[in-house]
């Protein structure tokens, strides 16, 4: 009799558990669907994106003094900047970009090779960024992109008297805000132009300089510069070129 009673109790317990599970499963499904429905409005416009930009800066001028001394200067710079990130909605996004650029500058005094002065610099930077579309009209948009980060450069300057100046810079980007113009080609592609000449930024540059001349002497120095600028600053690592063009692809 004991065995039968115990068996009945086990069967009853099993039936109760099965009945409880049968009631909980639909309730759990409803809760999951409700949670997904609540998240749906915020994720409908969420998109990953990748892109990049290309910057070119060319400057050439000629100066004449008293019809005797003539200076000819040519400066060329370019940069490439891949980036990627995530759009939380149609206006707000965060991401990470990496840039590398090269600049060189040649100056001649009287167009003679012996009076040539040259400057070459390799620059890089890594920037977490956030962006927000402040104005949209049809397919056009005005975007503000804020960046922080770190960058560096290695430069070499050769003067007519054979003096060589080597400069290493480590730059900390406290903040930089740059306007961009965007044109939406379709749901996936967007063309952008970065207006770096309207940049607002504050950076700290730690500069190490070595000056030497034909092994006769060698001078080392270190400078720390706090750089606050409005507009394009050619000496800033975080302003590699005045104007950049790029494309963005949203998945």
Q: Is the pLDDT assigned to residue 241 strictly greater than 80?
A: no
Average pLDDT over residues 50-66: 76
Taking the CA of residue 236 as centre, how many other CA atoms within 13 Å lie in the half-sphere pointing to its CB?
Answer: 27
Average pLDDT over residues 95-117: 77
Query: Which CATH code of 1.10.540, 1.10.3470, 2.20.25, 2.40.160 fits the domain covering 46-250?
Result: 2.40.160
pTM (two decimals): 0.67
Cα–Cα distance for residue pair 48/20, rounded to 1 Å: 42
Q: At 70, list the tokens.
A: 């003539």
Tell me what pLDDT residue 109 has. 66
Phi, psi angles (nearest 5°) of residue 10: -65, -40
Tell me what pLDDT residue 6 has. 40
Among 177, 71, 174, smallest CA distance to 131 is for 177
Average pLDDT over residues 59-85: 76
Average pLDDT over residues 50-61: 80
Q: Is the pLDDT assigned to residue 47 strictly greater than 70?
A: yes
Tell me what pLDDT residue 246 has. 87
When pLDDT is cut at 50, 70 and 90, the band that residue 34 belongs to is very low
When pLDDT is cut at 50, 70 and 90, the band that residue 225 belongs to is confident
Q: How remote is the C-alpha of 157 from its chain's centroid?
A: 28
Q: At 136, list the tokens.
A: 């949209």
The domain locations on the chain are: 1-44, 46-250
Q: What is the mean pLDDT of the chain?
A: 76
């Amino acid at each position: 009799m004991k065995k039968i009673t115990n068996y009945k109790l086990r069967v009853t317990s099993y039936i109760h558990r099965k009945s409880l599970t049968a009631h909980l499963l639909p309730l759990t499904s409803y809760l999951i669907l409700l949670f997904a429905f609540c998240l749906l409005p915020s994720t409908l416009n969420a998109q990953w994106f990748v892109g990049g930009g290309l910057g070119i800066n060319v400057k050439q001028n000629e100066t004449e003094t008293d019809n005797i001394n003539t200076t000819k200067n040519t400066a060329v710079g370019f940069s490439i900047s891949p980036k990627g990130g995530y759009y939380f909605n149609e206006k707000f996004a965060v991401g990470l970009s990496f840039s590398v650029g090269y600049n060189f500058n040649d100056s001649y005094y009287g167009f003679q090779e012996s009076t040539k002065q040259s400057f070459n610099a390799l620059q890089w930077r890594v920037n977490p960024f956030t962006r927000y579309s402040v104005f949209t009209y049809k397919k056009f948009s005005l975007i503000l992109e804020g960046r922080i980060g770190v960058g560096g450069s290695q430069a070499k300057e050769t003067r007519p008297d054979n003096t060589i100046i080597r400069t290493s810079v480590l730059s900390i980007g406290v903040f930089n805000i740059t306007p961009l113009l965007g044109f939406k080609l379709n749901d996936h592609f967007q063309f952008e132009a970065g207006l770096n000449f309207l940049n607002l930024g504050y950076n700290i540059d730690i500069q190490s300089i070595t000056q030497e001349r034909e092994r006769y002497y060698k001078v080392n120095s270190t400078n720390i510069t706090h750089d606050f600028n409005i507009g394009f600053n050619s000496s800033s690592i975080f302003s590699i070129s005045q104007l950049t063009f790029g494309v963005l692809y949203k998945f």
